Structure 1
Amino acid sequence: MASNLEAMETWAAVLLARLEPGERSKLARTIGQELRRSQQKRVMAQENPDGSKYAPRKKRDLRGKQGRIRRKLAMFKKLRTATYMKFRGDSNIITVGFTGRVARIARVHQYGLKDRAERGATEISYEQRKLLGFCELDLDIVRDGLLRHFGTF
């Protein structure tokens, strides 16, 4: 995977050097949006970048105060929205990541760290769930975005 990324970087560097900074920024925004959509779909499917499923949540009592059983919700439902998962693209770089207070939550799950579920609670060791990562599909998105842009050039 790393060698594929390095080969694409070498190939794309020659093409990107021919573009003006404004055109590179426009291309970076387009590719960044597509990469964010790809990451959102993967988080919605509850999959790591390598295709394996996320580690399941720990068992807990699902009865609420009124005696009803709450349905199991998919993890990271709000984190995958565009409000929290941001992309930034300029003439030199494209980044996809989390901003604000949710970045801490995402980091704990991304690396499998210890954290408190709520203020004053004991520290819990979380399973590693890769929210962000680069897979072959993302490599295809970048390549197709470059080819589409240079095809209209």
Structure 2
Amino acid sequence: MNTTSKAVEKLSIEVITLPVSDVERALRFYIDQVGFTLDVDYSPNDVFRVVQLTPPGSSCSIQIRRGLTDAPVGSVRNVYLVVTDLEAMRSRLLERGVKVSEARHKTPIDAWDGGFATGLDPTRRDYASFADFLDPDGNSWVLQERGYRNL
């Protein structure tokens, strides 16, 4: 790498691999319940299949397939889905049958010491409100609100 260059290499996360036990069940969950878009469902033979899905508006996708990773099924933790309206997204997911935690916000408001209070941040500040859900295999997701005040 040229350390004297002023150009900065672009790095972007494109795909997160989720270890799942049942591709069909995971596919239905992420499309029908969470609202991801199916990008690829490729199976050239009976032993290989990869499915790629993308959340609406995201540049990062997920891939699911048993055997795609040696990580234990359900071991991925705290993948963040950033939303502009946490309350609306939480309601939408609940209506689609996803078990989503109650909303919580960090407290004290200006600290990141790990303390939380129930409900949305009172002023809907960016990065302050959260909710969680699990996929059918136990991979965990965090909904985080950002941009609400810009709506």
TM-score (norm 1): 0.23
Which structure is richer in relative contact order (CA contacts within 8 A, separation 6 or more)?
1
Query: Structure 1 or 2: larger helix share?
Result: 1
- Higher gyration radius (CA): 1
TM-score by length of 2: 0.23
